[in-house]
Amino acid sequence: MTVLEDAMRDAAGAVDAELAVLIPEADNAQRRLHEAMRYSALGGGKRLRPFLLLECAGLFAVDRRRALRAAAAVEMVHCYSLIHDDLPAMDDDDLRRGRPTNHRRFDEATAILAGDGLLTLAFEVLAAEETDPDPEVRCALVVALGRAAGMAGMVGGQMIDLAAERRDLDLAQITELQQLKTGALIGFSCTAGAILGRAGPAPSQALADYAHDLGLAFQIADDLLDVEGDADSVGKGVGKDATAGKATFVSVLGVAGARAEAERLVAAAIARLDPFGTGAARLRDVARFVIARDH
């Protein structure tokens, strides 16, 4: 196991433990909702966004327990997006992270509520005093997550994506769509570390720029996996973009062109970290991982 894999596994374990506390089992009328929320929140995944948040917060020596709460919050929003994206009204998927999707394991109404429960709990966690004693910091986190997850971010990107099916998009339009749909939450993950760390404008901007390049490289890798990946490793169906007639980085650039662009973006992301020196070694490694992964 590489140093990065070790670090990601440790972070994932800590995030799982935090999520398990924040979403307790219940023995009351809401028991099924808790089960469905835990099913998706504790059901594996790379925990990339929490890892980025913890690493960025680490650059500013943020208290680990506080960073872990914010890391759990961003993973909750990510898990909610996966649950809702898999619903019959959206992608209608049966498999996620190698297991039945939430609505297949439970039912559609429960899956909608589980997503809603995760989304709202994320904001509750960020707004609570345990996340940071300074209300201005908590408020900045809440505003940043709202922007990243909402109409100006992930949900807005998903709307463009739905409208874009079977339409030709050019590279600039695909880039904009993906920056909103997947890039915004990756951006929040890095920005949250800077907010918790009371970072100044220059390091905050450097991390935002890193996240921008990394987010696009991540999405290109996701598009490549949909074309070249193996469903068992990826943990979900592959070949869906072509079947849906979706314009992607791969459909526009071709496989080789998409890979070259992802490599260029990763090199650019790594260069953004120069001001942080050796303290950002794992953030450099995770940028390389994002395009080398098979899942």
CB of 106 to ligand GRG, least distance (A): 17
* Member of 40, 175, 182, 204 binding ligand GRG (CB under 6 A): 182
**Residues 6+ positions from 292 with CB-CB distance below 8 Å:** none
Binding characters for ligand GRG, 85-104, by CB under 6 A (x = yes)? x----x------x-------
Only segment of 44-52, 208-216, 259-267, 273-281 that touches ligand GRG (CB under 6 A)? 44-52
Nearer to ligand GRG by Cβ, of 132 and 222: the residue is 222
Binding flag, residue 223, ligand GRG (CB under 6 A): no
Q: How far is the CB of 94 from ligand GRG (least distance, A)?
A: 14
User: Contacts with ligand GRG: how many residues (CB under 6 A)?
Assistant: 16
Q: Is 97 helix (H, G, I), strand (E, B) or coil?
A: coil
Residue 200 CB, nearest distance to ligand GRG (Å)? Answer: 29
Report residue 274 as tokens: 């120069």
The stretch near ligand GRG (CB under 6 A) out of 15-23, 61-69, 153-161, 200-208 is: 153-161
Q: Which is nearer to ligand GRG, 46 or 198 (CB)?
A: 46
Give min distance, CB of 82 to ligand GRG, in A.
Answer: 5
Q: What is the largest CA-CA distance in the chain?
A: 54
Report the alpha-carbon distance of residue 235 to residue 213 in Å, rounded.
Answer: 25
Position among 48, 67, 121, 125 found at the interface with ligand GRG (CB under 6 A): 48
CB distance 78 to 22 below 8 Å: no
Cβ distance to ligand GRG smaller for residue 69 or 181: 181
One-letter amino acid for residue 137 of the chain: V
Per-residue contact string for residues 188-217; x = within reach of ligand GRG by CB under 6 A: ------------------------------
Q: Which two tokens stand for residue 32?
A: 């099924």
Tell me, what DSSP letter sits at residue 95?
E
Alpha carbons 106 and 36: distance in angstroms, whole number: 7
* 139 vs 142 by CB, closer to ligand GRG: 142
- Pairwise CA distance, residues 8 & 137, whole Å: 26
Q: Give start and end residues of each alpha helix (H) in 197-280.
A: 201-228, 231-234, 240-243, 249-272
Residue where the block lists tokens 């940043």? 144
* Side-chain half-sphere CA neighbours of 264 within 13 A: 6
Q: Whose CB is nearest to ligand GRG?
A: 45
Are the beta carbons of 114 and 32 closer than 8 angstroms? no
Q: Which residues bind ligand GRG (CB under 6 A)?
A: 45-46, 48, 78, 81-82, 84-85, 90, 97, 154-155, 158, 181-182, 222
